[in-house]
Amino acid sequence: MLNNGKGKLFSPAEPWRKERKLRTHNLNIDFNKLYEDQTEERERVLKEILGELSEGIRIQGPVTFHYGIHTRIGKGTFINFNFTCQDDAEVTIGEYCNFGPNCTIVTPCHPMLADERKALRLPDGSTAGLCWAEPVHIGDRCWFGANVVVCPGVTIGDNCVIGAGSVVTRSIPANSFAAGVPCRVIRELGEGDSLRNRPDILGDCEIID
């Protein structure tokens, strides 16, 4: 971060940022070259990317993490093909979440005006292209359909279902089914959504009480 005591702006070109991103981008390539059944090797690379690895995480790949070290993923979470996480700010994903193919989480923000995107003046008088980032927090047991985009600053509560193709620009309360562009809450999830009401799907299986 800029060491000016206030504000959120930073330069993506700061040396430590460039070094960490390059390391993580190379590790992404290492992970994506591995076969699905090379589980031990995949876990080793993921631990290098994320810094720590919770129990039972499964990531199908290919993946793209930006920093990696800013992301925490809870145990039992499954992430399908082509997951992108641009974690300039903190990203937390809860336990037992499921992500469909082509999901993206982004945290960086840029000025709306083109001249301000090009460069801003720093406290020392120099100029640089600057941005800022807002954290993303996802609760436990959430399901994301294919092609969902989660935007900067969003919090999604526990037990949510986010419909395929949604662009989540605002926070979503727990126990919600939400969908659309921009994503909005369709309804609260409840007993009406139970497979007990769909014997054609449930068949001879049983709900665990």
Which residues carry out catalysis?
Answer: 110
User: Cβ–Cβ contacts within 10 Å for residue 111, how many?
Assistant: 15
Closest CA to 86 of 101, 71, 96, 99: 71
Closest CA to 166 of 74, 99, 108: 99
Read off the amino acid at residue 182: P
Q: Residue 174 is encoded by which pair of tokens?
A: 């727990």
3-state SS record for 104-145: EEECEECCCCHHHHHCEECCCCCEECCEEECCEEECCCCEEC
